[in-house]
Amino acid sequence: MWLVRAVHRAYRVINPISRWVHSAGAGILALMMFLTATDVSLRYLFNRPILGSYDLVEYMMAILVAFTIAYCALERGHVNIELLISRLPQRAQSVLNSFTGLISLGLFSLIAWRSFLQARIFYFAGSTSSALHIPQFPFVIVTSFGFVLLSLVVLIQLLQSLSQAAGKWNQS
């Protein structure tokens, strides 16, 4: 019973954070589309592209992915193979989801950790973008943050699957 309460509490904390971050990602997407459309228009109409637009779009894409991946996982929007799994009994589905959740948690935690270490390397090396000379490390830190948030979402889903596998989950 404590596991179910812990999952519900964690969900109440992570859900608003991931929704807010997702909304910020949607704003970044709108800015990226506006920048790209403006750059293409200026390039073809006036032969004057926006200097560094490639760098800006590249960094915006990193922010976009980092900010939206956790919300997609929270809404269970990632690709799932349900054709075979849906035919299994509920407990077997929960065990299989627990196994894949454990692997996913390990993988995404590793990505978050290594992204943070890569940000440190970029910081001390002074790595910047090619055209605008924008430092790279803040964007790698944002990526690391996104994968930390994704890891927390996967952890919540893992605990939920473990609870279902134990037969103690109440679908309320």
Nearest to 3 by CA among 154, 162, 171: 162
As given in the structure block, the two tokens for residue 35 are: 């920048």
pLDDT at 127 over 80: yes
Whole-prediction pTM: 0.85
Q: Tell me the pLDDT tens digit for each residue of 45-65.
A: 999 999 999 999 999 999 999
Contact partners, residue 56, CB within 8 Å, separation at least 6: 35, 132
Q: Which amino acid is at 65?
A: V
Q: Which amino acid is at 130?
A: S
Predicted confidence at residue 169, as pLDDT, reads 52
| Alpha carbon distance 149, 108 (integer Å) | 9
Q: At what angle do helices 2-46 and 53-74 cross, to 10 degrees?
A: 150
Q: What secondary structure does DSSP assign to 8-77, as a single string?
A: HHHHHHHHHHHHHHHHHHHHHHHHHHHHHHHHHHHHHHHS-PPTTHHHHHHHHHHHHHHHHHHHHHHTT-
Q: Tell me the pLDDT tens digit for each residue of 141-172.
A: 999 999 999 999 999 989 888 888 777 555 54
* Residue 119, SS3 per DSSP: helix
Beta bridge partners of 135: 128
The residue with greater pLDDT, 6 or 125, is: 125
* Residue 128, SS3 per DSSP: strand
